[in-house]
């Protein structure tokens, strides 16, 4: 084979891969821009469940993070979309909706069967960390485990501990009222009150301590 023929053959073989890379780039750009028309036109050519080469998020997680609700709707209507496809960091679309205070997205995801409970970090952890009582209530109504623990490598935090650490008084009180256990300890041996105190949230720590004393 001559050098020229080898070069032409290599170029021919590379062309489809380059075209797919361009389509993938266009697809994820459309997701970010809430361009549902372009997203719909590329579904079937681009796998929406693959991580974005830039950022590592599948389309649905990225759309929820960007508040691109027309794209969220288009993706949820697509039979090939995995509503629980995780980003490379483990985030799911429902976790992102909880953190971003996006209740309409959370409701739509749950209606499509998104997992409320999962090993390790859960959507309820994210709702507690962001102080979103409405989404926390929604998740609990759909069976979220109130005392779910994050992975041991991440400190074994419960949602109540996350609310305490982030200084969300109302959310901590709400979770307590829903039955969260204030006596559980994280990987450092700290209760939610201890975590709040360590984070300089004395008011939450005192409220949690009172709850424990009243339960004795």
- Coil, strand, or helix at residue 46? strand
Domains of the chain: 15-88 (1.25.40.20), 116-216 (1.25.40.20)
138 contacts: CB under 8 Å, gap ≥ 6: 103, 106, 107, 110
Predicted confidence (pLDDT) per residue in 203-214, tens digit: 899 989 887 777
Tell me what the pLDDT averaged over the chain comes to.
91
147 phi, psi to nearest 5 deg: -110, 30
Predicted confidence (pLDDT) per residue in 129-148, tens digit: 999 999 999 999 999 999 99
43 phi, psi to nearest 5 deg: -65, 135
Predicted confidence (pLDDT) per residue in 25-80, tens digit: 999 999 999 999 999 999 989 999 999 999 999 999 999 999 999 999 999 999 99
Sign for the CA dihedral angle at 161, 163, 167, 172 comes to negative
In this predicted structure, what is the pLDDT of residue 140? Answer: 98
Tell me the pTM. 0.88
Q: What's the rounded mean pLDDT across residues 7-36?
A: 72
Answer whether 126's CB lies under 8 Å from 99's CB.
Answer: yes
- Longest alpha-carbon distance in the chain: 87
């Amino acid at each position: 084979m001559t050098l020229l023929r080898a070069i032409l053959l290599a170029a021919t073989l590379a062309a489809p891969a380059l075209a797919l890379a361009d389509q993938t780039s266009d697809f994820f750009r459309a997701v970010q821009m809430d361009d549902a028309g372009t997203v719909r036109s590329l579904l079937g050519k681009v796998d929406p469940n693959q991580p974005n080469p830039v950022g590592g998020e599948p389309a649905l997680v990225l759309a929820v993070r960007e508040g691109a609700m027309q794209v969220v709707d288009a993706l949820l209507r697509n039979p090939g979309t995995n509503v629980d496809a995780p980003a490379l960091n483990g985030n799911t679309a429902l976790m992102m909706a909880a953190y971003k205070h996006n209740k309409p997205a959370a409701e739509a995801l749950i209606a499509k069967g998104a997992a409320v409970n999962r090993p390790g970090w859960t959507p309820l952890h994210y709702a507690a960390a962001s102080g979103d009582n409405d989404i926390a209530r929604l998740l609990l109504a759909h069976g979220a485990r109130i005392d779910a623990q994050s992975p041991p490598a991440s400190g074994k935090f419960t949602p109540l501990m996350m609310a305490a650490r982030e200084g969300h008084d109302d959310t901590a009180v709400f979770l307590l009222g829903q039955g969260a256990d204030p006596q559980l300890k994280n990987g450092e041996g700290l209760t939610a009150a201890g975590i709040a105190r360590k984070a300089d949230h004395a008011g939450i720590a005192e409220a949690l301590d009172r709850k424990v004393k009243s339960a004795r």
